[in-house]
Homo-oligomer: A and B are copies of this chain.
Amino acid sequence: MSRIYNFSAGPATLPEEVLKQAQDELLDWHGAGMSVMEMSHRGKEFMSIAAQAEADLREVMAIPDNYKVLFLQGGASTQFAMVPMNLMGRTGKADYINTGTWSKKAIAEAKRYGEVNVIADTAADFRAPAQADLSFSSDAAYVHYTPNETIQGVEFPYVPDTGDIPLVADMSSTILSRPIDVSKFGIIYAGAQKNIGPAGLTLVIIREDLIGDAPESCPAMMNYQIHADAGSMYNTPPTYAWYLSGLVFKWLKDNGGLEAMAVINERKAEELYATVDASDFYANPVDPECRSWMNVPFTLADPELDGKFLEEAAAKGMKSLKGHRSVGGMRASIYNAMPEEGVQALIEFMKEFEKNNA
C-alpha cells in the first residue's frame, strides 16, 4: 500500500494514525464484539465514545461552559438555513459580510427568512474587509461571516468586533487550524470533512442564550433547542463520523493541540506562498494579509500547462490539486492532516516543473 499526498479541499486527507486505529477497530471496538457503526447510539459504548469526543473537543478548543456543542447532519449548507430560521426572528434582519463563494451561498439562503444587509462585499477583490470598513446595523439579529473562503483562499486576519451583536461564523475550512477565542462568537459551525473528520457530520458550537427562539414553523430537525436538549440525539446521529472525529480530536491532543497546529500550519502556508511569490511562473491573487493557511490557490502563467502540471504531480503521488472551476488553476488544500513532507514534496515539484517548462 502506498498513500498519496491528497490536496483535496474536502472531503480531505485524514491523519494516517487515525485511519489505522479505525481500521484496527473496525470489526470489534474495544472488545465490544461489534463495529462502532453497528452500535445503538443510546448504548453505553457509543455514549462513552460520544461523550469523550465532546470532552476532547472542548479541551482542544477551550470551549467555555456556556456554549453547547452539537453534532448534527446536513453540512454548512444546512446551517445557512438553520442560523436565520433560529435567530432572524429576534429582529427580522441580519448583517452579512460577503467575501466569496460560500458567503454568497449563506446570503442567498438567509434571504428566505428576513432582511439581509450585506454590510461589506469584497468578494471580487480576493481580500477581507478591514474592521474599520464594517458598520453594523444596530438592530441586526446577528452578523454572519466566512472566516476562510475555501474556494478563493481568502482568510480574515482578525475576528470582527461586532460589539453586542452575536457573531456567527462558517468555520468549515478553518476550524482547528489554530487557537481561536470561542467567547467572541455567538455560533461557530463547520462541516466535518476538512479539519474534523468524514463528511456527514456538522459541528455547531452555540452560546446558550441564542438557543430557543425558533418559530413554530421550524422543522424539529432544524431547531437548535431540540438538538441541544437531546444532547444531539433527538434522532440517530451520524455515529461513525462522530467516532472518527473523536479520534481526530484525540490526535490533536496527542500532537500538541491547536498551538502546535498553528505553528506547523503557518509554516506550511508560508513556504508554499513563498514558492509562488518567488517566481513569475506561478501567481496567487489574494491580498497577502488575507491569504488562507488552509487553501492555497495558485495559477500558472500559461494555463495551457495546467493539464501537464496535474498529470506530472499525480505521477509523483500528489493528487486533487485542480483548482475550483470558478477560479481555475490549482488549489492545494493543506489542512492539519497534510504532513509537512507533503507540502515540501509539492514545493519541490513546483520548482522542478517551472525549471522544465518556463
Contacts and interface: CB of A to CB of B under 8 A. Distances in A.
A100 interface: no
B239 A198 contact: yes
Name the residue in A109, A198, A217, A222 with the highest tally of chain B Cβ atoms < 10 Å from its Cβ.
Answer: A198
A105 to B, nearest CB: 8
A35 interface: yes
Interface stretch (A73-81, A87-95, A132-140, A287-295): A73-81
Given A9-B40, A244-B37, A221 B3 contact: no
A11 B40 contact: yes
Interface stretch (A14-22, A203-211, A257-265, A299-307): A14-22
Interface stretch (A26-34, A56-64, A268-276, A339-347): A26-34
A73 B237 CA distance: 10
Given A33-B317, A236-B11, A239-B199, A27 B23 contact: yes
Nearest 6 A/B pairs, CB to CB? A200-B238, A4-B33, A81-B219, A77-B235, A37-B198, A73-B73
A219 to B, nearest CB: 4
A70 interface: no
Interface in A297-327: 317, 319-320
A85 B234 CA distance: 20
Nearest to A337: B38
Contacts of A222: 81, 219
Nearest to A35: B19
A169 interface: no
A240 B38 contact: no
Most interface-central of A1, A8, A16 (chain B CB within 10 A): A8
A102 B235 CA distance: 11
A166 interface: no
A55 interface: no
A1 B30 CA distance: 10
Contacts of A246: none
Nearest to A172: B236
